[in-house]
Homo-oligomer: A and B are copies of this chain.
């Protein structure tokens, strides 16, 4: 016996996850109340606990949902044939800097996530690995990541994570700077650094002679 159609509650839950993602990225997790998120979803505060066990549960689910969506977005970019240059330039753009609510969850929430409990940090870890796998799939397009030897796959992930961390830090720093011109220049220089690390153009010697 199913009342509202099995899709109704699931759709409402997804709507809450999406508005929570935008709120959290704009105002921070600690800066976003449950009642505010529910109002954004056009619901009242009481309905919250029909969908999530606690705010911490919402945080972990939202982090997972945000990263899943980001991984999908990156995979779609790769499928559309966008190269590393376009990827880096769109990530380290003035637009991405100025619209955190629509942007990368890592850049907006990274140091808040590191202060939260195990469930949230585990959700972040799992979600982020899917994101960097999607980034890596851009380069080795035909291959299935799952078919690699485990050790090589891990090494490739670590390299992708380190480069992604540099991008995240660059975007965050450009958001914090009060001087707009300086923030622009940091984005530009950061993009050049990241592209050098990714091996676009002339690959840096230090990456060329290392195993992979």
Assuming the contacts A196-B204, A196-B207, A206-B192, asked whether A173 and B106 have C-beta atoms less than 8 A apart, the reply is yes
Of B108, B166, B196, B197, which is within 8 A of A111 by CB?
Answer: B108
Check if A169 sits within 8 Å of B158, measured CB to CB. Answer: no
Question: Whose C-beta in chain B lies nearest to the C-beta of A119?
Answer: B178
Using a CB-CB cutoff of 8 Å, which residues 80-130 of chain A contact chain B?
A: 100, 106-115, 118, 121-122, 124-125, 128
Q: A92 CB to closest chain B CB, in angstroms?
A: 10
Can you list, as one digit per residue, whether each of A166-200 has a CB less than 8 Å from chain B (1) or not (0)? 11111011111111001001101110110111000
Q: A208 CB to closest chain B CB, in angstroms?
A: 9
Q: Does A34 contact B (CB under 8 A)?
A: no
A154 to B189 Cα, complex, angstroms: 12
**Which B residues are in CB contact (< 8 Å) with A167?**
169
- How many identical subunits does the complex contain? 2
Q: Does A162 contact B (CB under 8 A)?
A: yes
Check if A115 sits within 8 Å of B27, measured CB to CB. Answer: yes
Number of A interface residues in the complex (CB < 8 A): 62
- The contact sample of 24 A-B pairs, CB cut-off 8 A, is A26-B115, A30-B31, A109-B111, A111-B111, A111-B175, A113-B176, A121-B178, A124-B177, A124-B178, A125-B177, A125-B179, A154-B185, A158-B185, A163-B193, A164-B173, A165-B173, A166-B170, A167-B169, A169-B170, A196-B196, A197-B197, A203-B205, A204-B204, A205-B205
